[in-house]
């Protein structure tokens, strides 16, 4: 019987990398659409992914000493299983949500954590298992094959998968189509793992055929699995910024972004409040800037006959859906600009009489950047004398709970840094009206003067927004609440508290369990494993840092998340190659790479602190690349230092993954929300200093 | 049918079934074990209508949850605690929400239109509605919020100062601060101020009968007409609420019924038909019924708002069934906000939000055909 070559196995490993990264990115987007679309959920997904991957890797230890049991045929069957699991995973995420949680209900931290864990567990365990297993298969063919060869092949696949998804699939395909296309190379190469004389026998043919059928069934059921329980799916698009759906229920169209209803027709109250509260204040109403929009607002804006309306919406697919389904009306003077609102304010020279922001709650870093001191400064620069900025956040019916009080206080204090007069109007949304000229809360009276007819405001304002309610809201502002800044996003922290309050839970229990587990783990690992643990932690921590910093300054993470992850993967490959090249100078290489990580982190801190949003995109990608080169370099060296046996390889892979999981969760859930970007980077830098000391002191001279 | 069509159709059928088995079937609240304070505080009072059992256990008798509390336990509504074998309320004289609202906001459309209502609430609720609009106060403990000190006599004084004709016990669930409500209501009643109870109606008969002696009006939120949905969406049960409606009717209290039409849960026309038929058979045609439009809130934020045509069709169903006064809530400018005489069909009250630009009632009669209109009207 003709033996399978090691090259075939290497091809399978690379193809596994391609399929797994695409699956990971599709899964992140899917879970974001099913749960809160915020960075915390991204962190939970990555954490679960890495922990389960680490567990899968450890599972492969049962083969150490029995690696003869690892055969190419079995690897082929594992590959088929993986491909099927990728489809089942996405289907499970979509279908089981409504089984475990009440239809239409949002879900708290712990249920999200458990749901993510359970739905991605089968795939993640197998993907974690398959890499060391592939090494055992190769070593059955070439016993002296270095572990780093598998690591490099996997990296090549990861980079290719990341690039394929970020540059092609995310723009052109739906999630199941992505899984099919990214999975095809693995399906084909896995078939080659069967010896040529058995390849056409019923079992392999049936296995490959069934796998292909499963991949295709995902594509066929794409729309079906997205269909709403109420009404029908009138429109569906996976834009590079996220999922857009329009549901039609009778005469009503509702546009959902990331699974949440954002725009719906027949909502005159919000449209009137958004436009008239701001427009009532200003004498001039010629030039208006809208940053995003609520449905129906153009009709209200039209009443002022403005000369020019610049309407900024980053996602062209959202604007086209809004106009197509009548959620927004095209009116005279309207200019639709598909650009990031903040970038527009920075680069435009236009001056506006009113700037109206209609964005959802600042519960992500992307949205938070429209509620920071820097944003308010930029907005003020673009306002004419007497111009008004209007924006809103979620309000309350009858009682303002503490985290929300702190939130509006922080917003008030932040806006007060730029504007002399601010009024908050209570209601379902709390409206902030900011200007350097006096502002009135008697909106109906102003609208009467301007002869503007309204339906909701003229009928309900005096009953809902009473002077007593306005006064008590404005009295509740805590002037000592810290302001909200790009690099120290106090609102994100408060939104996080509010999220926990709403679900009557606390992250403290989860944090305590994690700390205990990690402490036990740290006490049990070797020096080499600690170095790789810290490297994994640094690499993912830095990746999260770059994702969040990128999000804060550029705000379009959905488009770029694949690119960032790809860049971080891309650096690992030359890093691993360098590590292999300098493998003889083990300790020196580890020291140099640790010093390099410390310097790059220091450089990142200095640059972000000094230049903030003036840094180009390239800066983040380049620093990300440098981080990952240094981290990639350390893996083969540490592996070599620990003996490069099967057992050592498994332990090293695990240390890297566990460190990465810790880095992800610590950076995103604890450090960045509580101490901000700069201090998180400082803490990561300190971790690497400890690792450097371990190398220097642990190995002597 | 092709060979592949049968399994595909079987899958789709299975998938649809799976998706419809949505979420937990009962979200009823639980007793908070060991969450009572060590001793009563300034805003405590010994609970009304509770029973003492062996081993210092007590049973609260106010609502159908009938919380059995061991010493140190706190009730489902979070307001009642067992301290050393005595049941105390922690919500007496410490309202966390105080506002003056138009009566139409409650909503009460047949109770002294255009009058002001002094509205108060402490924390607490005996249900767990996923779409609660006052969850900030209904789903928390009295000690965890900012509160004002306003004992019953102060409430009545403030109502007078603000020229309010009524006091409403509202926002959270007034049943959970029953002792505070009834003491205040007695004082108010003595001084000619009306008492309005805005409630989910989840209360036992004995306290309700006691309450009826001082009550002038009520709005009962009949959340659905299905016990299954009550358990799943609200953590309650239907029957006690229906009993409440019957008791109010027997005691001749003016009340209005509100149903929030939540898409996917409470938008079944058949259920609405049954509900209207029950109302007609047990309460008669004269109690106003409000269908309110849902918009995403609290935990139920991934559902779209209710289509207005769904509300329209519900209004039609109710009126066809024979209910005389059917209104639509949260739909500004809709004709379903106005009151039409059930006899001559002419518009009696034209409502634009809380404004009433046209009013054609003379006392409690239609100005056109002199038919008596049910409700509590100004002379």
Mean pLDDT within A90-99 = 91
* pLDDT tens, position by position, A208-228: 999 999 999 999 999 888 888
Domain boundaries, chain A: 1-226, 232-261, 267-486, 507-701
Q: What is the pLDDT of residue A37?
A: 64
Q: Which strands form A242-249's sheet, in the order they lie side by side?
A: A232-239, A242-249, A252-257, A260-264
Does A177 reach chain B within 8 Å, measured CB to CB? no
Are A98 and B23 within 8 A, CB to CB? yes
CB of B355 within 8 Å of any CB in chain A? yes
pLDDT at residue A424 tops 50: yes
Q: Do B130 and A229 touch (CB under 8 A)?
A: no
- Which band of pLDDT confidence, cut at 50, 70 and 90, is reported for residue B2? very low
Chain B contact for A505, CB < 8 A? no
| Lowest mean per-residue pLDDT among A39-43, B54-58, B313-317 | A39-43
Shortest CB distance from A99 goes to which of B22, B27, B351?
Answer: B22
Cβ within 8 Å, pair A102-B24: yes
Q: Side by side, which strands form the sheet with A334-337?
A: A334-337, A308-312, A287-291, A352-357, A383-394, A429-435, A421-425
Residues of A in contact with B265 (CB under 8 A): 103
Average the pLDDT over each of A57-71, A429-443, B43-57 and give the range with the smallest value.
A57-71
Beta pairing class for B58-60 and B50-52: antiparallel
What is the average pLDDT across A102-109?
Answer: 89
User: What mean pLDDT is predicted for residues A574-593?
Assistant: 79
Name the residue facing B136 among A224, A230, A401 (closest C-beta). Answer: A401
Q: Give the residues across from A247 on adjacent strands.
A: A233, A254
What tens digit of pLDDT does each residue of A504-558 get?
888 888 888 888 988 888 888 887 788 788 888 888 888 888 878 877 777 665 5
- Nearest chain A residue to B145 by CA distance is A401
Confidence of residue B1 (pLDDT cuts 50, 70, 90): very low
Determine, for residues A99 and B21 on separate chains, whether the beta-carbon distance falls below 8 Å: yes
Confidence of residue B6 (pLDDT cuts 50, 70, 90): low
Is the pLDDT at A277 greater than 90? The verdict is: yes
Cβ contacts of A396 on chain B, cutoff 8 Å: 136
Q: Return the biggest CA–CA distance within chain B.
A: 80
Which residue of B lies nearest to A104 if distances are taken between CA atoms? B302
Region of poorest pLDDT, from A361-370, A388-397, B12-21: B12-21
pLDDT at A402 over 70: yes
B104 close contact with A: CB closer than 8 A: yes
Phi, psi values for residue A472, rounded to 5°: -70, -35
The answer to whether A245 touches A174, Cβ cutoff 8 Å, is no
**Domains contained in chain B, CATH given:** 97-337 (3.20.20.70)
Interface contact A326, partner B, CB < 8 A: no
In the predicted structure, residue B222 carries a pLDDT above the cut 80: yes
- Pairing outcome for strands A352-357 and A383-394: parallel
Residues of B in contact with A461 (CB under 8 A): 353
Chain A residues touching B233 at Cβ < 8 A: 102
- Does A400 touch chain B if contact means CB atoms closer than 8 Å? yes
Q: Does B5 touch chain A (CB under 8 A)?
A: no
Q: 420-459 in A: which are within 8 Å (CB) of B?
A: 428, 455-456, 458-459
Among candidates B22, B96, B137 on the partner chain, residue whose Cβ is nearest the Cβ of A98:
B22
Mean pLDDT value of segment B247-263? 97
The pLDDT tens digits of the residues spanning A632-655 come to 888 888 877 777 677 777 778 778
Tell me whether residues B353 and A95 touch, CB distance under 8 A.
no
CB contact under 8 A, B264 and A463: no
Q: How far apart are CA A637 and CA A102, in angstroms?
A: 50
Chain A contacts in chain B segment 190-219 (CB below 8 A): none
**Which of A579-583, A631-635, B185-189, B303-307 has the lowest average pLDDT?**
A579-583
pLDDT, tens only, B27-85:
999 999 999 999 999 999 999 999 999 999 999 999 999 999 999 999 999 999 999 99
**What ipTM does this complex have?**
0.89
What mean pLDDT do residues A271-280 have?
A: 96
pLDDT at A40: 73
Q: Tell whether domain A507-701 is in CATH 1.20.1250.20.
A: yes
pLDDT higher than threshold 90 for residue A664? no
Please, which contacts does A461-465 make with residues 24 or more away whose CB atoms are closer than 8 Å? Answer: A461/B353, A462/B354, A463/B101, A463/B102, A463/B104, A463/B105, A463/B353, A463/B354, A464/A427, A464/B105, A464/B354, A465/A425, A465/A426, A465/A427, A465/A441
As a whole number, the mean pLDDT across chain A is 88
Of A283-297, A554-568, B73-87, the poorest mean pLDDT is in A554-568
Model confidence at A47: pLDDT above 60: yes
Q: Which long-range contacts (CB under 8 A, 24 or more apart) does A613-616 make?
A: A613/A342, A613/A346, A613/A374, A613/A486, A613/A552, A613/A553, A613/A554, A615/A553
Inter-chain CB proximity B307 and A98 less than 8 Å: no
Nearest CB among B15, B171, B233 relative to A95 is that of B15
Residue A214, classed as helix, strand or coil, is helix
Residues of chain A found within 8 Å of residue B97, distances taken between Cβ atoms: 398-399
Record: contact B305-A504, CB cut-off 8 A: no
Is some CB atom of chain B closer than 8 A to the CB atom of A268? yes
Q: What is the mean pLDDT of chain B?
A: 94
Contact A101 B354 (CB under 8 A): no
The fold adopted by the segment(s) A1-226 is: Growth Hormone; Chain: A; (1.20.1250)
Closest partner residue to B136 (CB to CB) among A96, A264, A399 is A399
pLDDT value for B18 = 59
Nearest residue in chain B measured CA to CA from A224? B12
Is 3.40.50.150 the CATH classification of the domain at A267-486? yes
Q: Of the ranges A54-68, A217-231, A362-376, B176-190, which is most confident?
A: B176-190
Query: pLDDT-based confidence at A701, cuts 50/70/90?
Result: very low
Provide the pLDDT for residue A639. 77
Same fold, A1-226 and A507-701: yes
On chain B, the residues whose CB falls within 8 A of the CB of A95 are 15, 18-19
Q: B97, A103: Cβ pair inside 8 Å?
A: no
* Mean pLDDT computed over A334-354: 92
Mutation site for B-interface testing, chosen from A91, A105, A255, A443 by largest number of B Cβ within 10 Å? A105
Strand-pairing partners, residue B68, are B59
> For residue B12, which residues of chain A lie inside 8 Å, CB to CB?
224
Q: Cβ contacts (< 8 Å) between B26 and chain A: which residues?
A: none
Pick from A101, A264, A461: CB nearest B304: A264
Contact B300/A at CB under 8 A: yes
Q: Is B34 on the interface with A (CB under 8 A)?
A: no
> pLDDT tens digits, residue range A241-266?
889 999 999 999 999 998 899 999 88
Chain B residues with CB-CB distance to A106 below 8 A: 299-302
Task: Please state, in angstroms and as integers, the Cα–Cα distance from residue B241 to each residue in A199, A333, B172, B200, following that order.
Answer: 69, 55, 17, 7
| pLDDT higher than threshold 60 for residue B5 | no
Distance from CA of B156 to the nearest CA of A (A): 18
Question: What is the reported pLDDT for A507?
Answer: 81
Q: Quick one: pLDDT band at residue A378, thresholds 50, 70, 90?
A: very high
pTM of the entire predicted model? 0.88
B353 closest CB neighbour out of A400, A463, A504: A463
Distance from CA of A281 to the nearest CA of B (A): 23
Tell me: the pLDDT tens digits for B121-167? 999 999 999 999 999 999 999 999 999 999 999 999 999 999 999 99
- Sign of the CA dihedral A361, A363, A366, A369? positive
- DSSP structural state of residue A2: P
B308 vs A266, A460, A463: nearest CB: A266
Alpha-carbon radius of gyration of chain A:
27
Optimal mutation site among A221, A399, A505, interface B, most CBs of chain B within 10 A = A399
Banded model confidence at residue B3, pLDDT cuts 50, 70, 90: very low
């Amino acid at each position: 019987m003709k033996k399978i070559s090691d090259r075939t196995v290497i091809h399978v490993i690379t193809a596994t990398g391609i399929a797994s990264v695409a699956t990971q990115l599709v899964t992140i987007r899917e879970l974001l659409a099913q749960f809160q679309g915020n960075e915390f959920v991204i962190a939970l997904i990555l954490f679960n992914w890495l922990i389960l991957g680490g567990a899968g890797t450890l599972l492969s230890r049962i083969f150490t000493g029995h690696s003869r049991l690892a055969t190419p045929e079995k690897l082929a069957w594992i590959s088929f299983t993986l491909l099927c699991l990728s489809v089942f995973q996405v289907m499970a995420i979509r279908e089981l949500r409504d089984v475990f949680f009440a239809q239409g209900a949002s879900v708290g931290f712990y249920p999200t954590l458990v749901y993510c864990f359970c739905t991605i567990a089968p795939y993640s365990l197998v993907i974690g298992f398959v890499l060391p297993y592939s090494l055992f298969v190769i070593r059955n063919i070439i016993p002296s094959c270095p572990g780093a060869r598998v690591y490099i092949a996997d990296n090549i696949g990861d980079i290719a998968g990341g690039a394929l998804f970020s540059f092609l699939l995310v723009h052109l395909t739906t999630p199941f189509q992505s899984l099919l296309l990214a999975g095809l190379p693995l399906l084909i190469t896995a078939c080659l793992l069967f010896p040529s004389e058995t390849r056409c026998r019923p079992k392999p043919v049936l296995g490959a055929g069934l796998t292909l059928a499963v991949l295709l069934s995902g594509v066929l059921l794409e729309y079906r699995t997205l269909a709403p329980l109420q009404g029908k799916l009138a429109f569906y698009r996976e834009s590079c910024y996220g999922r857009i759906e329009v549901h039609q229920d009778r005469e009503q169209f509702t546009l959902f972004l990331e699974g949440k209803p954002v725009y719906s027709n027949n909502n005159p109250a919000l449209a009137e409040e958004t436009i008239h509260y701001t427009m009532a204040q200003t004498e001039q109403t010629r030039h208006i800037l809208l940053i995003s929009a609520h449905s129906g607002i153009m009709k209200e804006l039209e009443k002022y006959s403005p000369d020019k309306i610049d309407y900024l919406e980053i996602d062209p697919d959202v604007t086209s859906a809004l106009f197509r389904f009548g959620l927004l009306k095209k009116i005279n003077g309207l200019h639709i600009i598909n650009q990031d609102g903040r970038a527009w304010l920075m680069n435009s020279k236009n001056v506006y009489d009113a700037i109206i922001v209609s964005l959802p709650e600042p519960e992500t870093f992307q949205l938070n950047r429209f509620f920071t001191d820097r944003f308010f400064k930029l907005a003020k620069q673009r306002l004419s004398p007497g111009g008004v900025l209007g924006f809103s956040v979620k309000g309350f019916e009858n009682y303002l709970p503490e985290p929300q009080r702190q939130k509006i206080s922080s917003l008030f204090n932040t806006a007060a840094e730029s504007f002399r007069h601010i009024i908050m109007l209570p209601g379902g949304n709390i409206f902030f009206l900011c200007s350097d000229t006096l502002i009135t809360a008697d909106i109906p009276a102003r609208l009467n003067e301007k002869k503007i007819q309204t339906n909701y405001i003229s009928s309900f304002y005096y009953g809902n927004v009473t002077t007593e309610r306005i006064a008590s809201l404005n009295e509740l502002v805590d002037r000592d609440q810290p302001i909200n800044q790009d690099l120290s996003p106090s609102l994100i922290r408060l939104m996080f508290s509010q999220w926990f309050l709403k679900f009557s839970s606390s992250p403290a229990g989860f944090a305590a369990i994690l700390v205990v587990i990690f402490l036990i783990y740290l006490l049990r690992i070797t020096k080499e494993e600690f170095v790789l643990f810290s490297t994994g932690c640094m690499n993912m921590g830095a990746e999260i840092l770059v994702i969040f910093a990128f999000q804060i300054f550029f705000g379009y993470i959905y488009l770029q998340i694949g690119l960032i992850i790809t860049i971080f993967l891309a650096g690992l490959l030359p890093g691993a190659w360098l590590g292999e090249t300098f493998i003889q100078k083990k300790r020196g290489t580890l020291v140099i790479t640790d010093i390099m990580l410390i310097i790059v982190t220091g450089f990142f801190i200095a640059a972000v602190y000094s230049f903030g949003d003036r840094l180009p995109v390239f800066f983040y990608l380049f620093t990300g690349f440098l981080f990952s080169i240094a981290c990639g370099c350390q893996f083969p060296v540490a592996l070599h230092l620990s003996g490069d046996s099967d057992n050592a390889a498994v332990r090293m892979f695990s240390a890297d993954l566990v460190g990465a999981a810790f880095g992800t969760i610590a950076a995103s859930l604890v450090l960045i929300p509580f101490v901000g970007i700069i201090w998180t980077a400082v803490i990561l830098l300190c971790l690497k200093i400890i690792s450097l000391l371990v190398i220097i002191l642990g190995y002597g001279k | 049918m092709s060979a592949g069509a049968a399994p595909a159709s079987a899958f789709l059928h299975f998938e649809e079934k799976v998706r419809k088995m949505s979420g937990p079937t009962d979200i009823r609240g639980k007793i908070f074990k060991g969450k009572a304070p060590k001793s009563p505080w300034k805003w405590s009072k010994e609970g009304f209508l509770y029973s003492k059992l062996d081993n210092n256990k007590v049973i609260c008798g106010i609502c159908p949850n009938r919380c059995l509390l061991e010493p140190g336990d706190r009730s489902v509504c979070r307001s009642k605690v067992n301290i050393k074998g005595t049941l105390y309320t922690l919500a007496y004289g410490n309202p966390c929400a105080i506002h003056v609202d138009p009566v139409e906001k409650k909503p009460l459309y047949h109770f002294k239109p255009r009058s002001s209502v002094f509205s108060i609430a402490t924390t607490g609720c005996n249900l767990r509605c996923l779409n609660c609009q006052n969850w900030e106060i209904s789903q928390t403990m009295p000690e965890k919020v900012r509160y004002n000190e306003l004992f019953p006599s102060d409430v009545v004084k403030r109502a007078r100062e603000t020229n309010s004709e009524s006091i409403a016990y509202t926002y959270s669930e007034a049943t959970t601060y029953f002792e505070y409500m009834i003491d205040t209501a007695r004082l108010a009643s003595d001084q000619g101020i009306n008492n309005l109870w805005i409630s989910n109606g989840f209360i036992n008969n004995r306290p309700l009968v006691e309450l009826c002696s001082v009550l002038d009006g009520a709005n009962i939120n009949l959340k659905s007409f299905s016990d299954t949905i009550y358990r799943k969406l609200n953590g309650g049960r239907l029957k006690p609420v229906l009993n409440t409606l019957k008791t109010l009717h027997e005691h001749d209290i003016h009340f209005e019924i509100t149903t929030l039409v939540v898409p996917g849960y409470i938008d079944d026309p058949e259920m609405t038909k049954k509900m209207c038929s029950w109302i007609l058979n047990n309460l008669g045609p004269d109690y106003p019924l409000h269908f309110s439009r849902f918009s995403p809130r609290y935990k139920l934020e991934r559902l779209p708002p209710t289509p207005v045509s769904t509300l329209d069709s519900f209004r039609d169903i109710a009126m066809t069934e024979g209910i005389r006064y059917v209104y639509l809530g949260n739909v500004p400018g809709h004709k379903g906000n106005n009151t039409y005489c059930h006899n001559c069909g002419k518009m009696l009250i034209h409502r634009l939000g809380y404004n009433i630009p046209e009013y054609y009632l003379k006392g409690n009669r239609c100005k056109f055909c002199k038919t008596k209109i049910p409700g509590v009207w100004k002379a």
